[in-house]
Amino acid sequence: MIHRPPPELVVAVVLGYLNGFVAVLVGIALIFARYIPELTEGERAVVTIVGACIVLLGLFVIAIASGLTRARNDARVLVTVLLDITIALDVVILIASPGRWFVIVDLVLAAASITVLWTGRTARFFARTGDARTG
């Protein structure tokens, strides 16, 4: 029997959706950044590819986050991996171009989501339910 998810898990799901949405926006902003006149052709290609990867990561996070409330441990692990990749890409962006506030917001949301998923009542919820499937 699946117990009701704790409020923290609902917060983690909302943070996951929000993180995915912000990641999509950050990726789109990077794709548009390719039109900055100071960039060389090689830099434009890198910026475009990184932006596209971030958009895809954001969409994956949104898609996988729905499995969290159904006590899917595999969804929790996959969301964590995707958010770790998002954090790594955000750090690269901040090193290459410091001062981008929207990247900092994305990084904080990803770190908060991971923290909520693996601590407190949320961790106990996943431990208690195992890898249950309800849908």
Residues 79-93 pLDDT 10s: 899 889 889 988 887
Q: How far apart are CA 113 and CA 106, in angstroms?
A: 11
Q: Tell me the three state secondary structure of residue 18.
A: helix
In a domain, 53, yes or no: yes
| The model's pTM | 0.74
In a domain, 2, yes or no: no
Q: How many separate domains does the chain show?
A: 1
- Domain, as residue range, for 28: 7-129
The helix or strand, by DSSP H or E, that contains position 98, with its residue range, turns out to be: none
- For residue range 33-78, what is the model confidence (pLDDT) as tens digits? 888 888 888 888 888 898 898 899 889 888 888 778 777 888 889 9
In a domain, 40, yes or no: yes
- Under a CB-based contact definition with an 8 Å cutoff, are residues 109 and 50 in contact? no
